[in-house]
Structure 1
Amino acid sequence: GASLSDKALAEVVKKLEQFNPSVIGLDIYRENPVKPEYADLAKTMQTSDRFIAICRGGENTTDSGVPPPPEVSGQLQRQGFSDVVTDPDNVIRRQILSMAPAPPCATDKSLSFRLASRYLKNHGIQPQLTPENNWQFGKVVFKNIQQNTGGYTGIDNLGHQVLLN
């Protein structure tokens, strides 16, 4: 099964919804459908525009990735990828905000991007691309790293990557 049972997830989502959250992000892979006895959970996952789930794109022929939960499949605005870039010393110093989709994960936005976008939407802030191809939220611009940014030299900087603080 899953790392979190349908029963436990249904209880957590029900408790969270009592507080009328702006957004609920599920950062747990769930490629199997919700069991029929948890129809309320399945319905929430299928219909709530506040529910965003995770998936991971395949990196090569031996890594096929992880699809989103079937309940959000086909709803790209409610999916976010979890793919990360690991530096040669196995430390994560960069965040990918968006990139070309990598099957079976069909979305082009990260889970963190989706969650922040959904939250900020309630405050009248919509993400947009600047003429320099950087993501901007309100007055804040997230500048893409270049191949030779900071201590990096000749890195793969595809997609919209930013340095983590």
Structure 2
Amino acid sequence: MTVPAGASAKVILSVNGARHQVTVEPRVTLLDALRDRIGLTGTKKGCDRGECGACTVLVDGERIKSCLTLAVMRQGSEITTVEGLARDGELHPVQEAFIRHDAFQCGACTPGQIMSAVACIAEGHAGSDEEIREWMSGNICRCAAYQNIVAAVRDAGREMRG
């Protein structure tokens, strides 16, 4: 999609199974489109440089940092945010595990941690605490709830594998 500088583009984003048409400047990140244009504020803006992971979402099933991708680049992709994990009023197993293991304190990183955990488990990287730590290392928790986060991912991974 070629858009002249300073112009806006109409983009259709598929988020949590619903289509949203938004008008954005080409430089608007997916994070800002989700929060400011669509109103899904579960995805958090932390560092805005891809270092903290608070903005992690799933795009076509893969975790990405939404502050590092442009909204116009994600047209045609299926985007899942933390708001899209629960089904029919039931929390996702990772969300339940985070509650069960008290894997959050201030909550700023929690949505990104949960989205990264969902991907970590789906990718098959929840076999040991060391593996979980390695594959979750792109998500920072400033409150240092790491032990509880690892326990929640381990527990949810076991539950989801059956």
Q: Same fold (TM over 0.5)?
A: no
Normalised by the length of structure 1, the TM-score is 0.28
| Larger fraction in helix | 2
Normalised by the length of structure 2, the TM-score is 0.29
Q: Which structure is higher in RCO with an 8 Å CA cutoff and minimum separation 6?
A: 2
